[in-house]
Amino acid sequence: MWQIIEVLQFIGKKEGLQLPPSLAARIAEKSNRNLRRAILSFETCRVQQYPFTDKQTIPPMDWEEYISEIASDIMKEQSPKRLFLVRGKLYELLINCIPPEIILKRLLYELLRKLDAELKHEVCHWAAYY
């Protein structure tokens, strides 16, 4: 993780930005050790607010918010119409080059946060199957 922090600080220095070490550490932590994701989050933070602050929020990726919205749609109503809408949203993610494995993993995570304990095992089983 310290390597990601160093890269973020290097980028900040090259761009002439003052990046607080605590914010760099939080970005690196939230990126789950993914350098590309950390750089994108750093860029998003820069667009959102500069100069940076120690307590600045790190916004989630757009596609993650979209998957959270899909999970909410699934939980609201299970009908053919809703299935059609969710399917369209999933295709939209695929068209935007989000890998299907990542979509399913994130969708599982979001659904597990919203489901009651009885269904969690069954949902995990089918997510592992696919």
Q: Kindly report the CATH number assigned to the domain that includes residue 120.
A: 1.20.272.10
In the chain, how many domains are there? 2
Structural domain contains residue 53: no
68 and 121 share one domain:
yes
Judge contact between 27 and 42, C-beta under 8 A: yes
123 plus 66 within the same structural domain: yes
What is the rounded average pLDDT of the residues 96-120?
Answer: 90
Task: Read off the pLDDT band of 32 (50, 70, 90).
Answer: confident
Does pLDDT of 90 surpass 90?
yes
Residue 116 belongs to domain spanning: 62-129
Residues 26 and 69 occupy one common structural domain: no
Mean pLDDT across the stretch 67-84?
Answer: 93
Least confident range of 25-29, 33-37, 48-52, 75-79 = 48-52
Please indicate, yes or no, whether residues 123 and 68 belong to a single structural domain of this protein: yes
How far is the CA of 14 from the CAs of 31, 57, 83, in angstroms? Answer: 21, 23, 47
Q: Is residue 119 located within the same domain as residue 75?
A: yes
